[in-house]
Amino acid sequence: MPLTPKQQDEVAAQRNEVRQTRRATVPALEEILYEPFRVLDHGFVRVVDYMGDDAAIVQAARVSYGRGTRRVSEDQGLVNYLMRHRHTTPFEMCEIKYHVKLPIFVARQWIRHRTANVNEYSARYSILDNEFYIPMPEHLAAQTTANRQGRGATIEGEAAKRVLELLRREAERAYAGYTDLLNEDTSGTPLDPARPGLARELARMNLSLNFYTQWYWKTDLHNLMHFLLLRTDPHAQYEIRAYAEVMLGILARWVPMAHGAFLEYRMNAATISAKGLAVIRRMIAGEPVDQPSSGLSPREWRELIALLRNP
C-alpha cells in the first residue's frame, strides 16, 4: 500500500490542523499539502512543507537588480527574463520538501542529484516493509543495442511472463530470508525465541534493489527544476521519470509563473552548439549544407536535423 495505516492517520491529522501565518502561502498547493500522489505500484510523492512563491522570486530579483528591474512591468515578464537569461539565484529563494516512497534502485539514481537535503528511512533501526516494485508488462524491455544504457524493444508473451514471475519469486524469497535472518516479524516479535536474530544493519543485505525505501527530500526551486529537466526527459529511465512527472504537476500548482517560464525556456527549448548555429544561419541564407560541409560529426548532424524537423 502507498501509505501505512499509521501514516494515513498522520496525514489526516496534518490536514485537519489549520495554522495562522503571515508567511506567503499558495492556495493551490495548500489543497494538496500532505496528500500522497501514487507513483508506480507502491510508491508516492507528497509535499510536506514549502517556502516562497512566484512573488518571492520577483522580490528577490528586484532586491538583487535594484533600480534596473523597475522597467519590468509585469511579474511574469520578469520571471521569464530571469529564466531566459539564466539568472538562477532568485529561484533559489523558494524551497520545497517532499516525502517520497520509491524503489531502492530509483533512489540510487535520484541521490546523484547532490543539491538537496535528504533523510532516508533507516533499515539499521527499523524493519523494511514487504513491498517491492514489479513493472507493468508494457514497461518490460530488452537492452537497447544503440548504447549501453537504456531500453530497446518491449518484451512480450511468454518471455515477459517469465521475467515477471522471476522478479516476484526472487523478491519474495529475499524477504523471507530477510525475516529469517532477523528472526522477528514487523512488530519486533521473535520468530524463534531460542535463537538470536542477525543485526538489522546486516540482515538488510539480503534485500534486492526493487524493495521500497522512503525519504524526506528538500531542495530549492532552481535545483528542483534542474532535476525535473533531466528526469522528465524521454531518455530518462521510466521509473524515475514517473516520479518527476508527478513533481512537475506539483510545480505548476506551487509557482505557475516559474513553471510556465520553465516549460518555455528549458523543457521545450533547445541548446544549439556554435557550429550548429552557424549551419542554421547558412541554411537561412539559402546555402545548401550537408554533413561533410557542416563541420559537424555525423552524430551531431543527425541530432541537429532531428531537432529542426521534429514538431
The DSSP-derived string for 237-248 is -HHHHHHHHHHH
**Number of domains the chain contains:** 3
Residues 23 and 94 occupy one common structural domain? yes
3-state helix, strand, coil in the chain (%, to 5): 50, 15, 35
Residues 11 and 92 occupy one common structural domain? yes
> What's residue 186's pLDDT?
72
The predicted-structure confidence for 16-52, as pLDDT tens digits, reads as follows 887 888 888 999 999 999 999 999 999 999 999 999 9
Q: Which residues of the chain have pLDDT under 50?
A: 68-69, 71-72
Report how far residue 298's alpha carbon sits from residue 253's, in angstroms, rounded to the nearest whole number.
42
> What's residue 69's pLDDT?
47
Q: What is the DSSP letter of 220?
A: E
Q: What is the DSSP letter of 304?
A: H
Q: Give helix 298-309 / helix 274-284 axis angle, nearest 10°.
A: 60
> What's residue 146's pLDDT?
67
Residues 123 and 174 occupy one common structural domain? no
> What's residue 72's pLDDT?
43
Report how far residue 207's alpha carbon sits from residue 196's, in angstroms, rounded to the nearest whole number.
20
Q: Are the C-beta atoms of residues 82 and 61 closer than 8 Å to each other? A: yes
Residues 243 and 290 occupy one common structural domain? no
Residues 84 and 233 occupy one common structural domain? yes
pTM of the model: 0.88
In terms of residue numbers, what domain contains 69? 1-131+210-269
Residues 108 and 155 occupy one common structural domain? no
> What's residue 66's pLDDT?
54
> What's residue 148's pLDDT?
62
The sign one gets for the Cα dihedral 288, 293, 295, 296 is positive
Catalytic site positions: 231
